[in-house]
Structures are given as structure tokens and as C-alpha cells.
Structure 1
Amino acid sequence: MRARRTTAALAALAAAALGAAGCGVTGAEDDSILGKDTLTIGVSPDQPGLGQLTGSTREGFDIDVAREVAKRLGVDASSLRFKNVTSASREEMLERGEVDLVVATYSITPERKTRVAFAGPYYVAHQDILVRGETTDIRNVRNLAGKRLCEVPGSVSFPRVTKEKGIAAVSAQASGYSDCLAKLQAGQLDAVSTDDLILAGLAAQALKSGGRPLKIVNSPFTDEPYGIGVRKDDTDGCEAVNKAITTMYQDGTAPKLLNKWFRLSRLDVVTTVPQFEGCD
């Protein structure tokens, strides 16, 4: 009798183990963005022209790209949720599952690819410099030596100047790029250096608000491929986002959005689909 009970107990444990394994597989599948009825997308709340939250309204190029990608993944607009991210929080929020995707001027870098996957890029921007209109002694990145340069935690822009280019700029800390804009206009720093699309949005915001006129130096010194962040193991989801980006360029949607948001900045935007970097 005891032997039969032992055999039955072992069988029950084996069945439970198989059931747990089965649940684990289902959970892994559920981690993919594919087939989801709802999506939560991380976006910036403070980047004029790209991702800006005013009251309950979100607008900008990245917001429109996020909506288009979600639509092409089969997610209805009413089932799309946005969540604020910062330059410093994007990887953590993807890893914790707080967001399904990140569309937030998220430059693809080797360091970031160790933690998350990237679809795209959906656009390749270039790092440039924004200064006050009366500034004449900052014409390129070398002129930032000794200047007060805005630094946003988690952004790669400041290290690109100081570490990659070896320019001894002085850090002027800010909470985000809208804070950089306010401090630049107030004379609390000398320059903001980041992606030209961000700078174009900041300059346009300054013009709309009637603040001190700003200008882009137009001396780009890096390529900044904007990717859509996806959880590291969701290769199928990443490839589906790549397909969505491709069709956005093929049917003219992406060029229309670039024209909508950056025409007035006089930036020479590129309207052909960028070379994808792969979902590894």
C-alpha cells in the first residue's frame, strides 16, 4: 500500500512539474507584444516637437510614430496607453514590464543593447548645438571647451562631447530638455547639445513662447539612430515593429510626419527608410 501511495505521489509531482513548465512557456509567449489587445508605450513628456505632455494632451513626432506602430500591430487607439519615461528610466521600465515599447528619442547604443532590444531605427538624427541667438563664440563642438553645457541624467549627449570628443565642457545639470531650454534662456548655461530634432523642437518652443531667440549651430558631429525599445527576448515583436516602420516609409506616412513636425525648423530631414540594425 505504501509503495502504491509513493508511486501516486511521484506521479502527481511529475504532473505538477509539467504543468508548471507549461505555464512558464505560456508566460514567455505572453511577454511578447504580438497578439496583445493593449499596449503601454513609454514616451517623453518634456520634448517639444517630439514628445510633450500639456495637460492631458500628448503630441509630437514620437507620439505619432508610436500611434502608427501600434495601429500596424493591430492595437486600436482606444487600447493604447502612454507612460512617461526619462532618459535614465527607459531600460528599467522595459525590463520590469512597466511599458511594452519605448518611443522616446532612444538612441541605439551597444551598451543599451545589452539590456534591451531595438527595432529600427525609425530615424537617424545628428547631435548638434543650440545656443542663444546673440552667441557668436560657439560655432562647433570644439568651442564648447570651458562652456556651461546642459547635462541630462541618462542621456548619452553630454558624454559624447566630454568623453568621446574629449571636450572639457562644464556640466550644468538639468532634469530634462525642457529644463535645459529654460536655463539656456535664463542665461544659466551656455549651450545645449543633443539630437538635432530635439534642438529644433526646443527652438520652436522658444519662438512660440516669445522667449529669447535661439539658434542651432548647424555643425553636426554624430549619428543618433532612434530605435524603438523592446524587451530583450522579444525578437518576434521587434521584427514586427521593423515591418511597421518599413511600411510607414513606403506608404509616405513617415515623411508626412517629419514634414509636419520639423518643416518650420528648416532641418534637412531624411525621408527614406533608415538601415535597420537588427533585433539581436
Structure 2
Amino acid sequence: MRLKAALLLTLLAAPCLPAQAQELTGTLRKVKERGALTLGYRDASVPFSYLDGNQKPVGYAYEICLKVAEAVKAHLKLDQLEVKLNPVTSATRIPLIANGTIDLECGSTTNNADRQRQAAFTNTHFLTATRFVAKKEKGLDRTDDLKGRTVVSTSGTTSIRQINEINAARGLGMRILPAKDHAEAFLMVETGRADAFVMDDVLLAALVAGAKTPEAYAISSEAQSRPEPYAIMLRKDDAPFKAVVDAATAALYTSPEGRALYDRWFTQAIPPRGINLHLPLSEAMRKVLSSPSDSADPAAY
């Protein structure tokens, strides 16, 4: 009888444990226990995440991730939170999110239905579309102009998948080469090893702006995709952590600070060479920032 009474008292006392100790799971629990949050950054995705003149990560998406880290610290009531940095590429970003090496991927990653089977995304921070860049002297502007041409795109991206699908569907006979990163792909166009580089238009604009002779290049007027939403990537099936990230990004995007952050990276000179992308807020981007959404559906934008 005494044993039953003791067991009953134990069960009744259990709910009195601190709520957070019971409820913390997934990434929030890991961050709380380790006192650290790990960000994955890119080294050449200008202006989203790249290395500055001191080889330190900077960029629009990178700054958003730092704001999220502040929100996580406040949510967990931590006196200190170490922000660890881990480089990622187009090919490694999803595996490193999935296996727990990084907690947030701060780059230029498209949120789409295919990737949502492998990872989760917070609110959209940019809209892009797939286009191609080529030297003006080649006279390439529309997709059909690439027939029989050598085309490069970055390995592990939606762009290389899209151009392969277009090539097969239209029978254009393109020779499509994979590059390890955006810088290598653009260099292939610069040196004549490829006729065109297919990639998200904003990334192409950044590469052209930073080229030795920006006036020598043109970005196609025809897009090879519908609007594509960029967002910070996090682990799938971790609702508590996603709720914190979603709240932090929504608060940032709808605030004056969110608009200022956009202007700093898209309408002003950026490090290390002072290039300016000259991409003021479009009506679609105003909607993205004023009404945050994590939708992967291009029609939602």
C-alpha cells in the first residue's frame, strides 16, 4: 500500500517539473544543451552569403540568420549563445542540415516541393527566376538560342535540373556541364569554355556586377522558370524550432529594419569591392516582406 502511495505521489509530482525541461526537443534542445547554434554559409553566393575581403562570411541571408540566432537565444533564456560557422555548397547543404551538422542554412536556396521532402524552410526572403548569362557578342537571349551550345550550371541546384529538363523536352541538344560553384561556372563563360551559365538571375546579376568587364555580358530576357522563393533552410519535422525561426523572420521582414537590410545588400555598394546590384524592391518583393509566407508554390507570389 505504501508503495502504491509513493508511486501516486511521484506521478502527481511529475507535471511540476519546469515546462521547458519537458517540452524542449529537437534543435532547441540541442542548442540549449550545447550552448551553440551552427550556421551553414556559402562562400560565393553574392549578396546572400559569401566571404568578404577578410574571408569572413557576410551577406543578406547571413545577417538574417544572425537575427534568428538572437531570437533563439532569447527564447531559450540563455546568457550566452555561441554561433558556430560551417561552410556548405550546393551539393552538401541539404545533407548537412539533415544529419545535424548545421542548424540553419544561410544562403541562396530555393524553397520547392521537392526539397520540402528533405528539409523545412522559414519565410521567403527573396524571389528569383532562372535565366542565363552569356557574352553579348554571342547574341544569346532566349532559351532556343542555346540549341547545340555548351551550357554550364552549378551542381546540386534547381537550375541545373531545370535546364536538363528543358533540354530533353525540347530536344535542343545542349551539352550541359556541372560546376562545383557559381564562381567556377561564371569563369567557364568568361574563358569561353561554356557559351552560357544558367542560374538564378540575382546571382547572375551579382557575378556580372563583379566582373572585370560587366558591359561584356547580358542576362537573358526570357526566364527558364516561374518565380522561385528563397528561404533559410532548417531540419524537417522540428515544429518547435521552426515556430521560433518563423516568428523571428516575420518580425524582421515586416519591420523597418527588414527594409533597411534589403536596401543595404541590393541597392548599395557591398563589400569587398563596392559593387552595386541596383535591385530596388519590386512590388512582388514588397508583398513578400509585408506578408511573410513559407509557401513553396510560385503561384503564391
TM band (smaller chain): 0.7 to 0.9
Residues 144-185 of structure 1: CA distance to partner in whole angstroms, max 9, x if unpaired? Answer: 222222122211102212315735332122110011121111
- Asked if 1:126 corresponds to 2:144, the answer is no
Distance 1:99 1:253, change over 3 A: same
Distance in 2 (CA, whole Å) between partners of 1:77 and 1:159 is 42
Report the AA paired with residue 48 of structure 1: V
- Asked if 1:104 corresponds to 2:107, the answer is yes
Structure 1 partner of 2:14: none
* Shift, 1:50, TM fit: 2.1
Distance in 1 (CA, whole Å) between partners of 2:138 and 2:71 is 45
* Shift, 1:84, TM fit: 0.9
1:1-280 superposed matches below 5 A? 29-33=24-28, 36=32, 37-54=35-52, 55-74=54-73, 79-136=82-139, 138-164=140-166, 166-167=169-170, 168=172, 169-206=174-211, 209=212, 213-220=216-223, 221-263=225-267, 264-267=276-279, 269=281, 270-272=285-287, 273=289, 274-277=292-295
Distance in 1 (CA, whole Å) between partners of 2:280 and 2:147 is 28
Distance 1:236 1:173, change over 3 A: same
Q: TM-score, normalised by structure 2?
A: 0.74
Distance in 2 (CA, whole Å) between partners of 1:203 and 1:84 is 24
Q: Is the 8 A contact 2:61 2:232 kept in 1?
A: no
Q: Is the 8 A contact 1:115 1:232 kept in 2?
A: yes
* Shift, 1:133, TM fit: 3.5
Distance in 1 (CA, whole Å) between partners of 2:43 and 2:146 is 28
Distance 1:126 1:253, change over 3 A: farther
Distance in 2 (CA, whole Å) between partners of 1:188 and 1:65 is 36
| Secondary structure, aligned partner of 1:71 | helix
Q: Is the 8 A contact 2:73 2:81 kept in 1?
A: no
Report the AA paired with residue 113 of structure 1: Q
* Shift, 1:78, TM fit: 7.0
* Shift, 1:211, TM fit: 7.0
Q: Is the 8 A contact 2:121 2:294 kept in 1?
A: no
Residues 36-45 or 160-169, more deviating:
160-169
Residues 174-221 of structure 1: CA distance to partner in whole angstroms, max 9, x if unpaired? Answer: 110011121111111111121122112111221xx4577323224333
Distance 1:245 1:92, change over 3 A: same
| Secondary structure, aligned partner of 2:237 | coil
Distance 1:100 1:82, change over 3 A: same
* Shift, 1:30, TM fit: 4.5
Q: Is the 8 A contact 1:153 1:175 kept in 2?
A: yes
Report the AA paired with residue 158 of structure 2: V
Structure 2 portions without partners, runs of 5+: 1-20, 268-275, 297-301
- Percent identity, aligned pairs only, is 21
Distance in 1 (CA, whole Å) between partners of 2:191 and 2:68 is 38
Residues 218-227 or 238-247, more deviating:
218-227
Distance in 2 (CA, whole Å) between partners of 1:191 and 1:38 is 42
Structure 1 portions without partners, runs of 5+: 1-25
Q: TM-score, normalised by structure 1?
A: 0.79
Distance in 2 (CA, whole Å) between partners of 1:205 and 1:233 is 39
CA RMSD of aligned residues (A): 2.7
Residues 203-242 of structure 1: CA distance to partner in whole angstroms, max 9, x if unpaired? Answer: 1221xx4577323224333221112211112112112211
Distance in 1 (CA, whole Å) between partners of 2:43 and 2:23 is 31
Q: Is the 8 A contact 1:254 1:271 kept in 2?
A: no
Residues 229-238 or 32-41, more deviating:
32-41
* Shift, 1:254, TM fit: 2.8
Distance 1:246 1:117, change over 3 A: same
Distance 1:142 1:258, change over 3 A: farther
